[in-house]
Structure 1
Amino acid sequence: MDHHGTHNDLHSEQGARAGEHPGRAKNPVIKVEDLAWLEFEKPDLEKAERFAHAFGFATAARTANELQLRGAFAGAPCTIIRKGASRYVAAAFRAAEPADLLRLADATNAKVTNLPETIGGMVVDLRAPDGAGVRVVSDTHQLAGLTTQPVHTFNFGGDAPRTNAAQRPPRSPAVVERLGHVVLQSTKYRQSLDWYLQHLGLIVSDFKYFDGQREAGPTMSFIRCDRGSQPADHHTLAMTLGPRNRYVHSAYQVADFDALAAGGQYLLDQGYYRSWGIGRHIEGSQIFDYWRDPDGFLVEHFTDGDRFDNTLEPGWSTMTASGLAQWGPPASKDFMGISPSRESLRELRSMATALRQDNEFDLSRLRGLMKVATS
């Protein structure tokens, strides 16, 4: 297999040096095809559903104790929320074929079990080294597609196909099309990264490292599915080193910039809190807009993201706050987790705890992390 060079004209200007992490396992157990859904617990399902509809989800199923939210594309639900304490539970990845579940179960001493009839199919339940819940599923029920938002006809430069017609994007919820990715923080970043690459066949698109600490290895990775010559999202999973294991955010695709912007204005009109946006990221290139749901979970609308096949090697670049976007407002304190809040206080307290425990977050890494917010 021929591997293309790093995407050195896309801000990740450095390729790997000799001996650095290759960004993929030589012989993974299986290769998952995509992220299937995310699972959460929240105390008030009615409140969660109101925000979900304003954000652009449709309800796929609802009981007193469970809410299944979907995008417009055909497939499984994007998000499953069960009644309980406010927490992130697990990410479910879709296996390429049912036999992969048997192969994975055999390699991990796990079992293949049936999912509830409301979802259908089978699952292998695992834990990453940092404790994150990982489900690998197959043969789930497939929901039929819903109506999507039409993409606008644009007049760009000398190419002006729209005549005698005006642009009037509605100020209404942006229709979520599908789940794109989830970002997790880990105290055992490198160990967990290698576990995902080995067991799920994921491959790294971009590595980030703390300023002045490249020799100590990466501290963040944007990771995609390996579908061979079929392109996949720049990242389906992103992982970053930090003082506690936690959910950071999840991202959901919408049709285009107008859907994202008008949908954002609708969310503002409904009184919801924009964390950061609108802008265009560097790694992944997607146009983004971040929001806090009523339970404090960070969720992202995105559009126009990169897609790579398996020939592209990882890029390497320094982790900085200013390097998060090509254009847009500076990363907010809320997005960076440094605004006064219970969540930021928990993060601060966890730093002292992490330094006393056996993990990858040591004093040197703490110094590197502290520099990110102002760099």
Structure 2
Amino acid sequence: MATAHEDLHSERGAVRGDRPARAIDPVIKVEDLAWLEFEKPDLDAAERFAHDFGFATAFRDGAELHLRGTLPGSQCVIVRQGRRSRFVGPAFRASDRADLERLARARGTSVRELPGHGAVVRLTDPSGVPVQVVAGTEELPELPRQAPLPLNVGRLRRVNATQRPPRAPARIERLGHVVLETPRFGRTLDWYLENLGMIVSDFLYFPGQRDRGPTMAFVRCDRGTTPADHHTLAMHLGPGRRYVHSAYQVADLDAVAAGGEFLAGRGYKRAWGIGRHIQGSQIFDYWRDPDSVMVEHFADGDMFDNTVEVGWAQMSASGLAQWGPSVTRDFLGAKPSAHVLRDLVTALRDGDNEFDVRRLVGLLKVATR
């Protein structure tokens, strides 16, 4: 196994007694995220932002909007008409229908047919988030891609030619990951490892609380020797059950930057960026859509196969990036609001979760380090 603490992806690896980072005998092993589902009250506004952000429309009627990237595969996002803006849940892709049958038997449910073609198993994780696992779904053809710019780095690749990336939407290539908050971190993480066969790439823990175990996990798909994104799913312990953000790959740093300039010129709000993460190494840029949903452009993320062991690091605001502007209160979700205070009070009163007073103290320390 490749170690996690030799300048690979985290400051140190696991020690004896640490929480396991993978299940011994998972039910199945999903291959990737298929898509994310949202509800929005205004599909026209959702589509306008989506095009400015860099999506293409794959399907649209009066009730649904399907958004895709340039790479072949399924749509990245399904948006349905709803009374308010909200995240519904993720869909993961299994390798075949046999995996769906195995998962359905293990969870005491059934495989259902999807309209058109394909099949799905519908589940709910311990946090209450609806999770779909699909197979045999429609494969959308490739669209023209935004080519990375040729760089005069290492060797001469550009002579008698200038660099003038257009200030235009960064063309989304694919869905990369989704990040969720849950007050039932351990049980929810175990559910994904045991049922979907996912692997933890990195654990983070609150300052001074390594002894109580991790409070954030960056989780990847187990594709064997085929590399997968450093994280397809990330989750962290917090007082609420909520969507944090989702991330979409673009061609390169210039696509991130020029696409960001285009979004700023259209009046959208940057949440944080541009910078480079530590866990996952992505070049990132975070934005808010008109309903304040946070989405990320990223490029140049880490890819791990199943030989890389888990890394451990202390969770801190300063540890979220190698370079770039200081993390914002907006990104950290540190702005007080009625629903945040309600979630906090509910979590502290609920004995059936992991968010207690000591965890609250640890979370507050994260923002100051």
TM-score, normalised to structure 2's length? 0.98
Q: Which residue of 1 aligns with 2:106?
A: 107
Contact 1:10 1:282 (8 Å CA) reproduced: no
User: Which of 341, 366, 369 is the matching residue for 1:372?
Assistant: 366
Q: How does 1:134-213 map to 2 (within 5 A)?
A: 134-156=131-153, 159-213=155-209
Residue 121 of structure 2 aligns to which amino acid in structure 1?
V
Residue 151 of structure 1 aligns to which amino acid in structure 2?
P
Residue 317 of structure 1 aligns to which amino acid in structure 2?
A
Contact 1:8 1:315 (8 Å CA) reproduced: no
How far apart, CA to CA, are the structure 2 residues paired with 1:345 and 1:35?
32
- How far the C-alpha of 1:155 sits from its partner, in A, is 0.7
How far apart, CA to CA, are the structure 2 residues paired with 1:178 and 1:161?
27
Cα-to-partner distance string for 1:158-194 (whole Å, 9 max, x where unaligned): x222100001101000000000000000110000000
Q: Which residue of 2 aligns with 1:361?
A: 355
Residue 297 of structure 2 aligns to which amino acid in structure 1?
H
Residue 130 of structure 2 aligns to which amino acid in structure 1?
G
Cα-to-partner distance string for 1:84-106 (whole Å, 9 max, x where unaligned): 02111010000012100000000
Q: Which residue of 1 aligns with 2:261?
A: 265
Q: Which residue of 1 aligns with 2:299?
A: 303
Cα-to-partner distance string for 1:41-72 (whole Å, 9 max, x where unaligned): 01000000000000000000001010000000
User: Which of 68, 71, 77 is the matching residue for 2:66?
Assistant: 68
Q: Which residue of 1 aligns with 2:130?
A: 133
- How far the C-alpha of 1:111 sits from its partner, in A, is 1.1
Residue 57 of structure 1 aligns to which amino acid in structure 2?
F
Q: Which residue of 2 aligns with 1:96?
A: 95
How far apart, CA to CA, are the structure 1 residues paired with 2:129 and 2:177?
15
User: Which of 14, 23, 26 is the matching residue for 2:24?
Assistant: 26
- How far the C-alpha of 1:348 sits from its partner, in A, is 2.6
Residue 264 of structure 1 aligns to which amino acid in structure 2?
G
Change (3 A) 1:7 1:177: farther
Residue 368 of structure 1 aligns to which amino acid in structure 2?
G
- How far the C-alpha of 1:335 sits from its partner, in A, is 0.3
How far apart, CA to CA, are the structure 2 residues paired with 1:140 and 1:184?
25
Residue 155 of structure 1 aligns to which amino acid in structure 2?
N
How far apart, CA to CA, are the structure 2 residues paired with 1:324 and 1:364?
22
- How far the C-alpha of 1:150 sits from its partner, in A, is 1.1
How far apart, CA to CA, are the structure 2 residues paired with 1:332 and 1:283?
18
Tell me the number of residue pairs that the alignment of Structure 1 and Structure 2 aligns.
Answer: 367
- How far the C-alpha of 1:339 sits from its partner, in A, is 2.9
Change (3 A) 1:294 1:19: same
TM-score, normalised to structure 1's length? 0.96
How far apart, CA to CA, are the structure 2 residues paired with 1:53 and 1:301?
13
- How far the C-alpha of 1:37 sits from its partner, in A, is 0.1
Cα-to-partner distance string for 1:177-232 (whole Å, 9 max, x where unaligned): 00000000011000000000000000000000001000101000000000000000
How far apart, CA to CA, are the structure 2 residues paired with 1:11 and 1:94?
26
How far apart, CA to CA, are the structure 2 residues paired with 1:17 and 1:179?
33
Contact 2:9 2:280 (8 Å CA) reproduced: no
- How far the C-alpha of 1:347 sits from its partner, in A, is 1.6
Change (3 A) 1:338 1:345: farther
What's the secondary structure of 2:189's corresponding residue? Answer: helix
Residue 269 of structure 2 aligns to which amino acid in structure 1?
Y
How far apart, CA to CA, are the structure 1 residues paired with 2:355 and 2:226?
36
- How far the C-alpha of 1:345 sits from its partner, in A, is 3.5
Residue 125 of structure 2 aligns to which amino acid in structure 1?
A
Contact 1:172 1:263 (8 Å CA) reproduced: yes
How far apart, CA to CA, are the structure 2 residues paired with 1:58 and 1:26?
40
User: Which of 39, 56, 64 is the matching residue for 1:58?
Assistant: 56
How far apart, CA to CA, are the structure 2 residues paired with 1:345 and 1:332?
20
Q: Which residue of 2 aligns with 1:218?
A: 214
- How far the C-alpha of 1:7 sits from its partner, in A, is 4.2
User: Which of 39, 46, 49 is the matching residue for 2:47?
Assistant: 49
Q: Which residue of 2 aligns with 1:243?
A: 239
How far apart, CA to CA, are the structure 2 residues paired with 1:116 and 1:210?
45
Contact 1:354 1:361 (8 Å CA) reproduced: yes
How far apart, CA to CA, are the structure 2 residues paired with 1:275 and 1:7?
31
Residue 15 of structure 2 aligns to which amino acid in structure 1?
R
How far apart, CA to CA, are the structure 1 residues paired with 2:163 and 2:50?
27
RMSD of Structure 2 on Structure 1 (CA): 1.0
Q: Which residue of 2 aligns with 1:82?
A: 80
Contact 1:7 1:312 (8 Å CA) reproduced: no
Q: How does 1:322-361 map to 2 (within 5 A)?
A: 322-339=318-335, 344-357=337-350, 358-361=352-355
Residue 143 of structure 2 aligns to which amino acid in structure 1?
L
Moved runs in structure 1, 4+ residues, more than 6 A?
Answer: none
- How far the C-alpha of 1:116 sits from its partner, in A, is 2.3
Identity of aligned residues (%): 63
How far apart, CA to CA, are the structure 1 residues paired with 2:49 and 2:5?
37
How far apart, CA to CA, are the structure 1 residues paired with 2:166 and 2:205?
41
